Amino acid sequence: MMDHARDLASVRDATERLLTAATKLDNAAVAEPSRLPGWSRGHVLAHLARNADALVNALQGRPMYASAESRDADIERDAPRPLDVQLADLRESEARFQEAGAAPADWSRTVELRNGVTDKAARVPFRRWVEVELHHVDLGIGYELEDLPAEFVEREIDFLAERFIGHPDVPPTRVTDGTRAWSTGREAADPEVTVRGPAPDLLGWLSGRRDGACLTAEGGPLPTLPPL
């Protein structure tokens, strides 16, 4: 069961970690490339702020974004802003998200996200936690997948493995860190491939942030995953 209140607290803590780390940057560093192709650190910060507002929209029954084009245009518009403006915007948008999350609501209801995706309202705080944690890593400022909270890593592996279940281009795959195991890919009685490695490397591979070079694959080559 999702504990949306606990996840909201995790979002708040993760955002504070990111804001604290980002205060050590300067305007020049914000304009430098992030780890995401084609995006500066300013793009990442702008996206995080606008995503918080978009998830407020989802929680309140509105479309997350007016359109895909307006989403992209807002990020491009906000990316060049100075560091202090970026951080103030992120802090304020986080406060709006927390306020929306604290409002009395039916957390079992279904909400609509981007591209027609739907989910339970109770999962929205976890989705925001994912955005904050992984994009903190994407900033490339010293926060790595190995620094992520262990609970988050386990839950995000579970979430990503679930997303690829039934995908025709992914063979039946067992993913394990030696302690826990997940199934993903096409459904079958037995896996064709078993992928082993440390949990942060598994998360990096599943999220497209690492190439899987530190993982081992048994029964076949390491599967090539489609983009999320």
Residue 1 is predicted with a pLDDT of: 62
Per-residue pLDDT band for 2 (boundaries 50, 70, 90) equals confident
Percentage of the chain surpassing pLDDT 90? 98
- This prediction has a pTM of 0.96
218: CB partners within 8 A, 6+ apart:
193, 194, 195, 196
Q: What is the amino acid identity at position 150?
A: A
Structure confidence by residue, pLDDT tens digits, 58-112: 999 999 999 999 999 999 999 999 999 999 999 999 999 999 999 999 999 999 9
Residue 44 is predicted with a pLDDT of: 98
Hey, what are 20's tokens?
């604290």
Structure confidence by residue, pLDDT tens digits, 37-62: 999 999 999 999 999 999 999 999 99
Residue 228 is predicted with a pLDDT of: 85
Average pLDDT over residues 175-184: 98
Are the beta carbons of 153 and 197 closer than 8 angstroms?
no
Structure confidence by residue, pLDDT tens digits, 203-223: 999 999 999 999 999 999 999
Average pLDDT over residues 24-46: 98
